[in-house]
Structure 1
Amino acid sequence: MTADRQEKGLLRYSGWTRLNHWLVAISFVLLVLSGLPFFHPFFWSLTGLFGGPTMTRILHPYIGLFMTLFFLIMAVSFFKESLLKRHDIQWLKQIRDVLTNRDERLPPVGKNNAGQKLVYWIMLFCVAGLLVTGLLIWQPYFADAVSITLRRLASMGHAYIAFLAITTLIIHIYSGIWVKGSFQAMIRGHVSKAWAKHHHGLWYEEEMKKEHRRGEIERQHTSSQPRGLE
């Protein structure tokens, strides 16, 4: 078992975490494609992807609810490792080193670096904002229950928050591709120990301690097994 773990490297994301992530990602892309036609006429042709304008307008909020549900599940599982710590502040202060690939100057970080944590909090705000404003303008269920003024403000807020979410998503995708190995980790689940040590030193140390403890338990278990007759 120990040899198998060494060959695979370190488990960064479980199968469920990866599935959850991609459900959120795919549903968010569908949200963007179904929402842009109602933001500007230039994107009106995108309604053809969903069966026309009427069907697009019907599907958009339901896709939003689906995305929100799985995003909240993901947000709960990522909450603890997304809390900002002192080394994250230092990491942000050295953002120039991050952008110029001078990784050797950066402080070691945990499972998520400060950039990933900021994406988490920005998207948490965006999803909450999109949910609230989306409900306020959802015809025919909730929109008629609020004033026209509030509906207009919600519609404008929905557009601005969506723009922030899309921008954040683009940065997130670019970062995942830019840092070699990050994108593959969300597909395969495992990363090499060298990658973990280089990009997430504190997390690497924690995982090494866990692996050492597992090895000790396995050795104790093996030594306690009765030996065959000699």
Structure 2
Amino acid sequence: MTAYDVNSGDQVHAGDPVIVDRYTRSARINHWITATCLVLLALSGFALFTPGLYFLTALFGGGQWTRAVHPWLGVVLFFSFAGLFLRFWRANLWRSEDGTWLARIRDVLAGHEDRLPEIGKYNAGQKGVFWGMSLLILVLVSSGFVIWDQYFASYTTVDQKRVAVLLHALGAVAMICVWIVHVYAAIWVRGTISAMTRGQVTGGWAWRHHRKWLRELVSGKTDRAG
């Protein structure tokens, strides 16, 4: 039986401590390209959103360059995140234990891991971030095309552009909020950042936070997506 929580690059290495491969090098590069695009899009988007933050255009070579680069960064973000989506969507499917995990969110915040159900590669919070970003990137990219007048001005009406501008702004605010939650959670749970820099975690970390994933990994169940 194939486990949705285990990817082909996941592997356990015996030792003291036990080391677990959580992300392949290509997955980490994919992640950091996406993260870099999000930061650059936020900075250039702020610069274009209000005159009070126009000084941020200096990071991109001025106002004209900022306006030209911003939508292309969105295109790169879309394809980069598409790579992450294809890698990890199966591991982010909702499972029965995720509802229990959410119901016990107070124990999560208090660090009472012993009161929580065994979790796969991602917990309910991480899955929420994944699907939230998936939806918001679609909103941002689709609305961005509508207001990308350099190439698509003749394909949309003024009223459609007005709606798209509003959706783009709201989607951007929501995306930044989701990104902040993602970064805060990565810092809050010790060992998480090292998973996305070195690709590895300790066996103790995996046992404490993602025990179901570790059990499936040790049992030899894998998903072909890597």
TM-score scaled by structure 2? 0.89
Residue 189 (structure 1) shift: 0.7
Counterparts of 1:203 and 1:64, CA distance in 2: 33
Corresponding letter in the other structure for 1:187: T
1:46 to 56, 60, 64: 56
Residue 17 (structure 1) shift: 0.5
1:55 pairs with 2:65: yes
Residue 140 (structure 1) shift: 1.5
Counterparts of 1:173 and 1:66, CA distance in 2: 21
1:6 to 9, 14, 25: 14
Residue 209 (structure 1) shift: 1.4
- Report what 2:31 is aligned to: 21
> What per-residue deviation string (whole Å, max 9, x for no partner) do you get for residues 162-207 of structure 1?
1000000000000000000011111111111111010001001112
**Larger Cα Rg: Structure 1 or Structure 2?**
1
Corresponding letter in the other structure for 1:149: D
Percent of matched pairs sharing the same residue: 39
- Report what 1:36 is aligned to: 46
Corresponding letter in the other structure for 2:217: E
Corresponding letter in the other structure for 2:50: H
- Report what 1:227 is aligned to: none
1:207 pairs with 2:217: yes
> What per-residue deviation string (whole Å, max 9, x for no partner) do you get for residues 117-159 of structure 1?
0001000001000010000000211133211111000001000
Residue 104 (structure 1) shift: 1.3
- Alignment map for 1:168-187 (pairs within 5 Å): 168-187=178-197
- Report what 1:109 is aligned to: 119
- Alignment map for 1:76-225 (pairs within 5 Å): 76-210=86-220
Does the aligned pair in 2 maintain the 1:135–1:143 contact within 8 Å? no
- Report what 1:214 is aligned to: none
Q: Secondary structure at the match of 1:210?
A: coil
Counterparts of 1:142 and 1:132, CA distance in 2: 12
1:64 pairs with 2:74: yes
Count of matched residue pairs: 208
> What per-residue deviation string (whole Å, max 9, x for no partner) do you get for residues 3-24 of structure 1?
x922461110001000000000
Counterparts of 1:140 and 1:16, CA distance in 2: 34
Corresponding letter in the other structure for 2:115: R
Does the aligned pair in 2 maintain the 1:143–1:151 contact within 8 Å? no
TM-score scaled by structure 1? 0.88
Counterparts of 2:147 and 2:134, CA distance in 1: 20
Counterparts of 1:144 and 1:53, CA distance in 2: 24
Counterparts of 2:65 and 2:118, CA distance in 1: 49
Q: Secondary structure at the match of 1:160?
A: helix
> What per-residue deviation string (whole Å, max 9, x for no partner) do you get for residues 1-47 of structure 1?
xxx92246111000100000000000110111111112122211000
Counterparts of 2:158 and 2:117, CA distance in 1: 51
Indicate the structure with greater helix content: 1
Counterparts of 1:144 and 1:32, CA distance in 2: 27
- Report what 1:217 is aligned to: none
Counterparts of 1:39 and 1:97, CA distance in 2: 40
